[in-house]
Structure 1
């Protein structure tokens, strides 16, 4: 998504990017660029600046602890050409371990054609291969292969067109799904990982929101907090419920069940340097008809992430 960057001193940077008119996974939502495409742009910005401006070695691992995104749909429409965007970015809460960057917070305002289009914050930590191996070794044994993805919910119910892009599997309980983690997905797993990536969990939250409110969604606000690694060999449960009164739709897939369960009780806290309150998050798009949804992901009855999503009413 990114095309260049320029430092301005005092940890301020201008990053440029381009959003394609068509993307195989971050598909258009009612003629607008996918907000998760914007979130991915922010994530990539953090990695770019860490490597280029703070000398984080390419071999180091990144852990994203939270991401908050506000979008203005007025300026996210898909035009006749790819959208050129500028991210005015500041890095704060910078921490070092010895001579290497250990963590930072990214704060950015995204402009398109001179118009403020989105704002975002995200926090990251960076760890060496040796530290990462010590963190992950108890949870990545050879005898713990990834779970086979359970059957997908119907793509239409979660705002998707292809089953391979569905990350939720139905259960008999309304507004409760099993996570589908396909480690061969070319976008969500564009390189090998020993855990479920954060962007897949945010996509699960968006799909759960779509199923809950009953129509494709263009979130205007997303807040996500990650508290633990989502292990590939353990079942992940996704729960969604409205945080403000509005009409909900019954889970259209409760006639199909999946009984995939696990009994492994490893606690997989990925937070090796500090703890972070998961919080609840609040939406900002509080106009008439906006909905607010809270999504929680759990493994072994332990929360691994929480997301709150605000969406506008459906277009007519």
Structure 2
């Protein structure tokens, strides 16, 4: 089975057999709400490869709420979420990771390929080819795996995702969390009130239209092309916190980094009407807790040769960098425009 970047969907054995009729069991994706389930099929090719299918919603209160292109191009974070669902499903079904195991995100990235694909009027079909590498075992139990994913939408490549995850049994996870927090139990997002993050940022300054999707507070530019902000933990958000958690999930940190990168672009260029994310990469080194303030700092890095810009966002808590996210921005228009 050749890499997707070298072939076409029609050349890939099994792609045409993927089904888009119904979503898979939501519990295998660690999701409560059916509206947050996008994976419709996953089929194993061999011990290290599988194919997956997902249906992208034509409208969604979070994933299609964007100023750029009026939501007509796929949100990179939606594509990453589809890949996360494929990884989680595969870990349980293909690799026998227990259902009560805890999944730890180590790193992930997405890079677009070519002009942004235009979404069809109705639901869009996403096809994903996955190769797994560098498995880590403890005895017979899978403890870690890397996923290399190539994505197709309507017969056109829409990017490549790389994802690294670790898997811990429930007792080992509890022991690890206790070691980090000492005698203080981790609060849950459904009962804990997060620290105040200061004045809420206006949605249009971070590429949004709905204030409920804004996760930054007290955002300020530094006069050198960078910016700082504090994280507004959206514990009641139905997409970012689909179910109660004892930490801030990586997807929220990615969203915060995207918003701060767009905030810096807005300050430099005066408008977000043409700014699109063309690549993401992130590493996560420790859990972000719910009961301590979280700060973000954005610093411009080397510009893309094609004319885009890149921003590195450091996510810090208690004086420690918990995550580092690089967001690349460009003036990309949808295909044909």
TM-score by length of 2: 0.77
1:286 and 1:221 map into 2 onto residues whose CA distance is: 14
Question: Counterpart in 2 of 1:162?
Answer: 210
Is the CA contact (8 Å cut-off) linking 1:3 and 1:17 kept in structure 2? yes
1:36 aligns with 2:77: yes
> Which of 259, 262, 278 is 1:207 aligned to?
259
Inter-CA distance 43–116: structure 2 relative to 1 (3 Å threshold): same
1:69 aligns with 2:110: yes
Is the CA contact (8 Å cut-off) linking 1:149 and 1:181 kept in structure 2? no
Question: Counterpart in 2 of 1:54?
Answer: 95
Is the CA contact (8 Å cut-off) linking 1:73 and 1:220 kept in structure 2? no
Inter-CA distance 83–75: structure 2 relative to 1 (3 Å threshold): farther
Inter-CA distance 73–127: structure 2 relative to 1 (3 Å threshold): same
1:177-204, CA deviations, whole angstroms, 9 ceiling, x for partnerless residues?
0111121211111111111000000000
Is the CA contact (8 Å cut-off) linking 2:135 and 2:146 kept in structure 1? yes
> Which of 120, 140, 144 is 2:161 aligned to?
120
1:15 aligns with 2:15: no
Is the CA contact (8 Å cut-off) linking 2:41 and 2:52 kept in structure 1? yes
1:141 aligns with 2:184: yes
1:132 and 1:69 map into 2 onto residues whose CA distance is: 28
Question: Counterpart in 2 of 1:286?
Answer: 305
Question: Counterpart in 2 of 1:177?
Answer: 229
> Which of 292, 300, 322 is 1:304 aligned to?
322
Inter-CA distance 23–171: structure 2 relative to 1 (3 Å threshold): closer
Q: What SS does structure 1 have at the residue aligned with 2:252?
A: helix
Inter-CA distance 49–143: structure 2 relative to 1 (3 Å threshold): closer
| Superposition map of 1:221-260 within 5 A | 221-244=279-302
1:77 and 1:149 map into 2 onto residues whose CA distance is: 39
1:89 aligns with 2:126: no
Q: What SS does structure 1 have at the residue aligned with 2:276?
A: coil
1:142 and 1:136 map into 2 onto residues whose CA distance is: 8
1:73 and 1:18 map into 2 onto residues whose CA distance is: 21
1:4 aligns with 2:41: yes
1:89 and 1:54 map into 2 onto residues whose CA distance is: 14
2:186 and 2:287 map into 1 onto residues whose CA distance is: 18
- Structure 1 stretches lacking a partner, 5+ long: 246-284
Q: What SS does structure 2 have at the residue aligned with 1:219?
A: strand
- Structure 2 stretches lacking a partner, 5+ long: 1-37, 267-271
CA drift of 1:148 comes to: 3.7
Is the CA contact (8 Å cut-off) linking 1:70 and 1:118 kept in structure 2? yes
Is the CA contact (8 Å cut-off) linking 1:238 and 1:296 kept in structure 2? yes
1:117 and 1:96 map into 2 onto residues whose CA distance is: 32
Number of residue-to-residue matches in the alignment:
276
1:148-185, CA deviations, whole angstroms, 9 ceiling, x for partnerless residues?
44342111111112222111101556310011112121
Q: Which region of structure 1 is more displaced relative to structure 2, 134-143 or 166-175?
A: 134-143
Q: What SS does structure 2 have at the residue aligned with 1:54?
A: coil
1:194-232, CA deviations, whole angstroms, 9 ceiling, x for partnerless residues?
110000000001000110001254211111011111111
